[in-house]
Structure 1
Amino acid sequence: MQSRLLSLTEAAVNVAIGFIVALLTQMALFSALGLRVSMDRHLLIGTVFTLVSLARSYLVRRFFERYGRGRG
């Protein structure tokens, strides 16, 4: 069984890597679509989505830890 702290740590590392990939993808996509956004705005947008992703990842992990035991 995974502790809550380890669940949060795993989710944080996963989301941090995802943040970098998403930020680079967002910058490339916005540029390709002709959308001009400052780096500050890119970072703000990326941060908001990263926080949502972190919460989602943690909650899904905890759900499976609670209800997934003994199944499979």
Structure 2
Amino acid sequence: MAQSKCLSLSEAITNTVVGYALAVATQFAVFPYFGPQVGILQNLWLGLIFTGVSVMRSYALRRVFDRLTSKR
């Protein structure tokens, strides 16, 4: 069964809110290790870290919403 429009909107909003919270928490955890001056290579590593966190977040939320729709 396809996901309803309302549930798709709820998923997108939840994904955005959780993503923002994780980004802020990740910045607090990661930035002190790099200091205030971040070079190109460090930016690439930061991008990789944030991309990995984002992929894990998206996957976990997708599984949660998939379970919600499969219980109906």
Into which bin does the TM-score normalised by the smaller protein fall? 0.5 to 0.7
TM-score by length of 2: 0.58
Partner residue in 1 for 2:57: 53
Sequence identity (%): 11
Aligned-residue Cα RMSD (Å) equals 2.6
TM-score by length of 1: 0.58
Count of residue pairs brought into register by the alignment: 62
Matched-pair contact (CA < 8 Å) for 1:11–1:57 = yes
Higher relative contact order (CA 8 A, sep 6+): 2
> Structure 1, unaligned stretches of length 5 or more?
32-36
Higher helix share: 2
Where does 1:13-32 land on structure 2 (aligned, <5 Å)?
13-28=17-32, 30=33
